[in-house]
Amino acid sequence: MSIIFPAEWHAQDFVQLTWVHPETDFESNYKQAVACFVKIADAISARQKLLIVCECKIRVMQELGDIAKRQSIYFFECESNDVWARDHAAITVFDEENTLLYDFRFNGWGNKFPAEKDTAITKQVFDSGFFNHARYVDLNDFVFEGGSIESNGAGVLLTTEGCLLTPTRNPQFSKADIETYLKEQFGAHTVLWLAHGYIAGDDTDSHIDTLARFVNEDTITYVQCTDVNDEHYAELQAMEKELQGFCTPQGKPYNLVPLPMTTPQFGEDGERLPATYANFLILNEAVLLPIYNCATDSEAVNIMQTAFPDREIVPIDCSVLITQHGSLHCVTMQFPHNFVHNCLT
Protein backbone atom coordinates (compact mmCIF):
# COMPACT_ATOMS: atom_id res chain seq x y z
CA MET A 1 0.00 0.00 0.00
CA SER A 2 1.44 3.33 -1.09
CA ILE A 3 1.21 6.10 1.49
CA ILE A 4 1.55 9.81 0.75
CA PHE A 5 2.25 12.26 3.57
CA PRO A 6 1.48 15.65 2.02
CA ALA A 7 3.57 18.70 2.69
CA GLU A 8 1.98 21.61 4.50
CA TRP A 9 1.80 23.60 1.25
CA HIS A 10 -0.42 20.88 -0.24
CA ALA A 11 -3.93 22.26 -0.88
CA GLN A 12 -5.89 22.36 2.38
CA ASP A 13 -9.55 21.95 3.24
CA PHE A 14 -9.41 23.34 6.77
CA VAL A 15 -7.32 24.05 9.85
CA GLN A 16 -8.03 23.00 13.45
CA LEU A 17 -7.62 25.23 16.48
CA THR A 18 -8.16 23.86 20.00
CA TRP A 19 -9.39 26.97 21.75
CA VAL A 20 -7.93 28.42 24.91
CA HIS A 21 -10.09 28.23 28.06
CA PRO A 22 -9.62 29.51 31.64
CA GLU A 23 -8.35 26.13 32.94
CA THR A 24 -5.43 25.99 30.51
CA ASP A 25 -1.96 27.18 31.40
CA PHE A 26 -2.98 30.61 30.11
CA GLU A 27 -5.14 31.27 33.17
CA SER A 28 -2.94 34.14 34.34
CA ASN A 29 -2.97 35.95 30.97
CA TYR A 30 -6.22 34.61 29.59
CA LYS A 31 -7.44 37.83 27.94
CA GLN A 32 -4.19 38.25 26.04
CA ALA A 33 -4.29 34.60 24.93
CA VAL A 34 -7.88 34.95 23.71
CA ALA A 35 -6.94 38.06 21.75
CA CYS A 36 -4.14 36.10 20.04
CA PHE A 37 -6.44 33.18 19.24
CA VAL A 38 -9.01 35.57 17.79
CA LYS A 39 -6.35 37.04 15.48
CA ILE A 40 -5.31 33.55 14.35
CA ALA A 41 -8.94 32.50 13.83
CA ASP A 42 -9.63 35.69 11.90
CA ALA A 43 -6.63 35.20 9.62
CA ILE A 44 -7.49 31.56 8.88
CA SER A 45 -11.28 31.84 8.50
CA ALA A 46 -10.97 34.86 6.19
CA ARG A 47 -9.09 32.60 3.75
CA GLN A 48 -10.32 29.03 4.29
CA LYS A 49 -12.32 26.80 6.59
CA LEU A 50 -11.60 26.55 10.30
CA LEU A 51 -12.58 23.93 12.85
CA ILE A 52 -12.58 25.22 16.42
CA VAL A 53 -12.49 22.53 19.10
CA CYS A 54 -13.65 24.13 22.33
CA GLU A 55 -15.08 23.44 25.75
CA CYS A 56 -17.87 26.04 25.45
CA LYS A 57 -19.08 27.14 22.02
CA ILE A 58 -21.17 30.01 23.42
CA ARG A 59 -18.18 31.53 25.22
CA VAL A 60 -15.93 31.20 22.19
CA MET A 61 -18.52 32.77 19.90
CA GLN A 62 -18.71 35.71 22.28
CA GLU A 63 -14.92 36.00 22.25
CA LEU A 64 -14.87 35.90 18.46
CA GLY A 65 -17.55 38.56 18.06
CA ASP A 66 -18.62 39.11 14.45
CA ILE A 67 -15.98 36.66 13.24
CA ALA A 68 -18.10 33.84 14.69
CA LYS A 69 -20.77 34.55 12.03
CA ARG A 70 -18.52 33.44 9.19
CA GLN A 71 -19.75 30.36 7.37
CA SER A 72 -16.15 29.17 7.16
CA ILE A 73 -16.06 28.42 10.93
CA TYR A 74 -17.23 25.15 12.47
CA PHE A 75 -17.33 24.23 16.16
CA PHE A 76 -16.91 20.98 18.05
CA GLU A 77 -17.40 20.94 21.82
CA CYS A 78 -15.31 18.66 24.02
CA GLU A 79 -12.93 18.90 26.96
CA SER A 80 -9.25 19.68 26.52
CA ASN A 81 -6.22 20.05 28.74
CA ASP A 82 -4.61 22.77 26.70
CA VAL A 83 -4.32 24.35 23.26
CA TRP A 84 -1.54 22.57 21.37
CA ALA A 85 -3.48 21.14 18.43
CA ARG A 86 -0.31 20.47 16.42
CA ASP A 87 0.57 17.73 18.86
CA HIS A 88 -2.80 16.18 19.72
CA ALA A 89 -4.77 16.56 16.47
CA ALA A 90 -4.89 13.92 13.76
CA ILE A 91 -2.12 13.70 11.19
CA THR A 92 -3.51 13.15 7.68
CA VAL A 93 -2.02 10.86 5.05
CA PHE A 94 -3.43 9.29 1.89
CA ASP A 95 -3.30 5.80 0.45
CA GLU A 96 -4.55 4.76 -3.01
CA GLU A 97 -8.19 4.88 -1.93
CA ASN A 98 -8.57 6.63 1.41
CA THR A 99 -7.88 9.65 3.51
CA LEU A 100 -6.33 8.24 6.67
CA LEU A 101 -6.48 9.96 10.05
CA TYR A 102 -3.56 8.90 12.20
CA ASP A 103 -4.35 9.20 15.90
CA PHE A 104 -1.11 8.78 17.83
CA ARG A 105 -0.86 8.92 21.61
CA PHE A 106 0.01 12.33 22.99
CA ASN A 107 1.52 12.09 26.48
CA GLY A 108 2.29 15.74 27.19
CA TRP A 109 5.77 15.71 25.62
CA GLY A 110 7.11 12.81 27.64
CA ASN A 111 4.73 13.04 30.61
CA LYS A 112 5.66 16.63 31.43
CA PHE A 113 2.03 17.80 31.51
CA PRO A 114 -1.46 16.25 31.77
CA ALA A 115 -2.73 15.22 28.35
CA GLU A 116 -5.48 12.63 28.87
CA LYS A 117 -8.20 14.95 27.52
CA ASP A 118 -6.14 16.20 24.59
CA THR A 119 -5.16 12.78 23.32
CA ALA A 120 -8.86 11.77 23.30
CA ILE A 121 -10.01 14.67 21.10
CA THR A 122 -9.47 13.16 17.65
CA LYS A 123 -11.47 10.01 18.40
CA GLN A 124 -14.33 12.08 19.81
CA VAL A 125 -14.45 14.26 16.71
CA PHE A 126 -14.32 11.17 14.49
CA ASP A 127 -17.05 9.37 16.45
CA SER A 128 -19.30 12.41 16.03
CA GLY A 129 -19.34 11.85 12.28
CA PHE A 130 -17.39 14.98 11.52
CA PHE A 131 -14.72 13.03 9.64
CA ASN A 132 -17.16 10.74 7.90
CA HIS A 133 -15.22 10.36 4.64
CA ALA A 134 -11.92 9.52 6.30
CA ARG A 135 -10.69 6.29 7.84
CA TYR A 136 -9.60 6.46 11.47
CA VAL A 137 -6.31 4.71 12.25
CA ASP A 138 -5.64 4.05 15.93
CA LEU A 139 -1.90 4.39 16.56
CA ASN A 140 -2.14 4.95 20.31
CA ASP A 141 0.57 2.38 20.96
CA PHE A 142 3.10 4.95 19.68
CA VAL A 143 3.75 8.33 21.30
CA PHE A 144 4.12 10.98 18.64
CA GLU A 145 3.41 14.65 18.01
CA GLY A 146 2.76 16.53 14.80
CA GLY A 147 5.31 19.20 15.69
CA SER A 148 8.07 16.60 15.67
CA ILE A 149 7.93 15.83 11.93
CA GLU A 150 8.29 17.72 8.66
CA SER A 151 7.38 16.33 5.23
CA ASN A 152 8.57 17.62 1.87
CA GLY A 153 5.59 15.87 0.26
CA ALA A 154 7.86 13.63 -1.79
CA GLY A 155 9.00 10.96 0.64
CA VAL A 156 11.52 12.89 2.76
CA LEU A 157 10.95 13.45 6.48
CA LEU A 158 12.87 15.85 8.72
CA THR A 159 12.98 15.34 12.49
CA THR A 160 15.17 15.58 15.59
CA GLU A 161 16.88 12.97 17.72
CA GLY A 162 16.28 15.13 20.78
CA CYS A 163 12.55 14.58 20.55
CA LEU A 164 11.95 11.17 19.01
CA LEU A 165 14.65 9.38 20.97
CA THR A 166 13.57 10.74 24.35
CA PRO A 167 13.06 7.72 26.66
CA THR A 168 9.80 9.13 28.05
CA ARG A 169 8.11 8.64 24.69
CA ASN A 170 8.88 5.26 23.13
CA PRO A 171 11.66 3.68 25.19
CA GLN A 172 11.05 0.24 23.69
CA PHE A 173 12.24 1.39 20.27
CA SER A 174 15.74 2.12 19.00
CA LYS A 175 16.51 4.87 16.52
CA ALA A 176 16.54 2.27 13.73
CA ASP A 177 13.15 0.95 14.89
CA ILE A 178 11.66 4.45 14.90
CA GLU A 179 13.06 5.25 11.47
CA THR A 180 11.57 2.05 10.05
CA TYR A 181 8.24 2.84 11.68
CA LEU A 182 8.19 6.40 10.28
CA LYS A 183 8.99 5.18 6.79
CA GLU A 184 6.20 2.61 6.93
CA GLN A 185 3.53 4.90 8.36
CA PHE A 186 4.34 7.95 6.26
CA GLY A 187 5.41 6.33 2.99
CA ALA A 188 8.88 7.84 3.27
CA HIS A 189 12.10 6.68 1.67
CA THR A 190 14.36 9.05 3.64
CA VAL A 191 14.47 10.32 7.22
CA LEU A 192 16.79 13.24 7.89
CA TRP A 193 17.76 13.35 11.57
CA LEU A 194 19.06 16.47 13.28
CA ALA A 195 21.25 15.65 16.28
CA HIS A 196 21.69 19.33 17.19
CA GLY A 197 19.50 22.35 17.70
CA TYR A 198 17.30 23.61 20.49
CA ILE A 199 15.35 26.69 21.53
CA ALA A 200 15.56 27.71 25.19
CA GLY A 201 12.24 27.35 27.02
CA ASP A 202 10.93 24.71 24.62
CA ASP A 203 9.07 21.91 26.45
CA THR A 204 8.97 19.59 23.45
CA ASP A 205 12.56 18.31 23.48
CA SER A 206 13.32 20.19 20.25
CA HIS A 207 10.37 19.79 17.94
CA ILE A 208 11.46 20.27 14.35
CA ASP A 209 8.82 22.97 13.83
CA THR A 210 10.73 25.27 16.17
CA LEU A 211 13.99 24.79 14.27
CA ALA A 212 13.79 23.88 10.57
CA ARG A 213 10.96 23.64 8.04
CA PHE A 214 10.53 22.58 4.44
CA VAL A 215 9.18 25.38 2.23
CA ASN A 216 9.31 23.28 -0.95
CA GLU A 217 10.66 19.85 -1.89
CA ASP A 218 14.30 20.91 -1.85
CA THR A 219 14.36 24.05 0.32
CA ILE A 220 14.63 24.22 4.11
CA THR A 221 14.29 27.36 6.17
CA TYR A 222 15.89 27.25 9.59
CA VAL A 223 16.76 29.30 12.65
CA GLN A 224 20.27 30.70 12.44
CA CYS A 225 22.23 32.12 15.37
CA THR A 226 25.21 34.36 14.57
CA ASP A 227 25.72 35.90 18.02
CA VAL A 228 28.62 34.10 19.71
CA ASN A 229 27.35 35.33 23.08
CA ASP A 230 23.91 33.81 22.66
CA GLU A 231 23.30 30.55 24.53
CA HIS A 232 22.00 29.00 21.28
CA TYR A 233 25.10 29.73 19.25
CA ALA A 234 26.97 26.41 19.47
CA GLU A 235 23.91 24.19 19.03
CA LEU A 236 22.40 26.15 16.15
CA GLN A 237 25.75 26.45 14.40
CA ALA A 238 26.10 22.67 14.69
CA MET A 239 22.55 22.25 13.35
CA GLU A 240 23.35 24.52 10.42
CA LYS A 241 26.33 22.32 9.51
CA GLU A 242 24.10 19.25 9.65
CA LEU A 243 21.60 20.88 7.31
CA GLN A 244 24.43 21.83 4.95
CA GLY A 245 25.46 18.18 4.87
CA PHE A 246 22.03 16.82 3.92
CA CYS A 247 21.42 15.89 0.29
CA THR A 248 18.24 15.56 -1.73
CA PRO A 249 17.36 12.18 -3.27
CA GLN A 250 19.05 13.54 -6.42
CA GLY A 251 22.30 13.96 -4.50
CA LYS A 252 22.25 17.76 -4.39
CA PRO A 253 22.50 19.95 -1.28
CA TYR A 254 19.25 21.42 -0.04
CA ASN A 255 18.62 25.10 -0.63
CA LEU A 256 18.91 26.65 2.82
CA VAL A 257 17.14 29.83 3.88
CA PRO A 258 18.23 31.12 7.31
CA LEU A 259 15.79 32.89 9.59
CA PRO A 260 17.11 35.26 12.25
CA MET A 261 17.25 34.34 15.89
CA THR A 262 14.70 36.59 17.55
CA THR A 263 15.71 39.34 19.89
CA PRO A 264 15.81 37.49 23.25
CA GLN A 265 12.41 37.30 24.93
CA PHE A 266 12.04 36.70 28.67
CA GLY A 267 9.19 35.79 31.00
CA GLU A 268 8.32 37.55 34.23
CA ASP A 269 10.55 35.14 36.15
CA GLY A 270 13.49 35.93 33.89
CA GLU A 271 13.43 32.67 31.92
CA ARG A 272 14.26 32.76 28.21
CA LEU A 273 11.12 32.15 26.17
CA PRO A 274 11.07 29.97 23.02
CA ALA A 275 10.49 32.68 20.41
CA THR A 276 11.10 31.30 16.91
CA TYR A 277 10.11 32.39 13.43
CA ALA A 278 10.23 28.78 12.23
CA ASN A 279 6.86 28.14 13.87
CA PHE A 280 4.85 29.48 10.92
CA LEU A 281 1.67 28.01 9.41
CA ILE A 282 1.29 27.59 5.66
CA LEU A 283 -2.24 28.16 4.31
CA ASN A 284 -3.54 27.83 0.77
CA GLU A 285 -2.73 31.40 -0.22
CA ALA A 286 -0.90 32.77 2.80
CA VAL A 287 1.67 32.06 5.49
CA LEU A 288 0.87 33.04 9.07
CA LEU A 289 4.15 34.12 10.63
CA PRO A 290 4.59 34.47 14.39
CA ILE A 291 6.22 37.72 15.41
CA TYR A 292 7.15 38.91 18.89
CA ASN A 293 7.12 42.71 18.78
CA CYS A 294 10.88 42.81 18.51
CA ALA A 295 13.59 44.23 16.27
CA THR A 296 14.03 41.13 14.11
CA ASP A 297 10.35 40.83 13.08
CA SER A 298 10.59 42.85 9.87
CA GLU A 299 13.64 40.92 8.69
CA ALA A 300 11.77 37.64 9.23
CA VAL A 301 8.76 38.92 7.28
CA ASN A 302 10.96 39.90 4.34
CA ILE A 303 12.76 36.54 4.31
CA MET A 304 9.49 34.63 4.40
CA GLN A 305 8.07 36.70 1.55
CA THR A 306 11.09 35.71 -0.54
CA ALA A 307 10.64 32.05 0.45
CA PHE A 308 6.93 32.17 -0.41
CA PRO A 309 6.66 34.66 -3.30
CA ASP A 310 3.16 33.50 -4.28
CA ARG A 311 1.68 33.67 -0.77
CA GLU A 312 0.72 36.58 1.43
CA ILE A 313 2.79 36.79 4.61
CA VAL A 314 0.51 37.57 7.56
CA PRO A 315 2.41 38.52 10.74
CA ILE A 316 0.65 37.69 14.01
CA ASP A 317 2.02 38.76 17.39
CA CYS A 318 2.43 35.53 19.35
CA SER A 319 4.23 36.99 22.35
CA VAL A 320 1.59 35.59 24.69
CA LEU A 321 1.88 32.06 23.27
CA ILE A 322 5.57 31.76 24.06
CA THR A 323 4.85 32.49 27.74
CA GLN A 324 3.53 28.90 27.76
CA HIS A 325 6.38 27.68 25.57
CA GLY A 326 4.68 27.36 22.18
CA SER A 327 3.82 29.51 19.20
CA LEU A 328 1.59 29.74 16.13
CA HIS A 329 2.27 26.42 14.41
CA CYS A 330 1.95 24.67 17.76
CA VAL A 331 -1.70 25.73 18.19
CA THR A 332 -2.85 24.75 14.68
CA MET A 333 -3.19 21.65 12.52
CA GLN A 334 -3.97 21.67 8.81
CA PHE A 335 -6.11 19.06 7.08
CA PRO A 336 -5.18 18.65 3.41
CA HIS A 337 -7.51 18.67 0.40
CA ASN A 338 -9.22 15.37 -0.48
CA PHE A 339 -10.30 15.39 3.15
CA VAL A 340 -14.02 15.72 2.43
CA HIS A 341 -16.81 15.34 4.97
CA ASN A 342 -20.37 16.43 5.46
CA CYS A 343 -19.67 19.38 7.74
CA LEU A 344 -17.42 21.18 5.28
CA THR A 345 -19.23 20.59 1.98
pLDDT for 338: 78
Residue 3 belongs to some domain of the structure: no
Q: How many helices (H) and strands (E) does the chain have?
A: 10, 16
Residue 4 belongs to some domain of the structure: no
CATH number at 136 reads 3.75.10.10
Residue 322 belongs to some domain of the structure: yes
- Taking alpha carbons only, the member of 1, 4, 105 closest to residue 336 is 4
Residue 1 belongs to some domain of the structure: no
Residue 294 DSSP symbol: S
pLDDT for 215: 98
DSSP symbols for 220-284: EEEEE---TTSTTHHHHHHHHHHHHH-B-TTSPBPEEEEEEPPPP-B-TTSPBP---TT--EE-S
Our count of domains for the chain comes to 1
CA distances from 273 to 81, 228, 324 (A): 21, 19, 8
Residue 66 belongs to some domain of the structure: yes
What's phi and psi for 229, nearest 5 deg? -90, -5
pTM for the whole structure: 0.96
Residue 7 belongs to some domain of the structure: no
Q: Write out the residue range of the structural domain in which residue 337 sits.
A: 12-344
In tens, the pLDDT along 157-186 reads 999 999 999 999 999 999 999 999 999 999
User: Edge-to-edge strands of the sheet including 255-260?
Assistant: 212-216, 219-224, 255-260
Residue ranges of the chain with per-residue pLDDT less than 70: 1, 339-345
Residue 204 belongs to some domain of the structure: yes
User: Amino acid letter at 181?
Assistant: Y
Residue 6 belongs to some domain of the structure: no
User: Edge-to-edge strands of the sheet including 312-317?
Assistant: 281-282, 286-291, 312-317
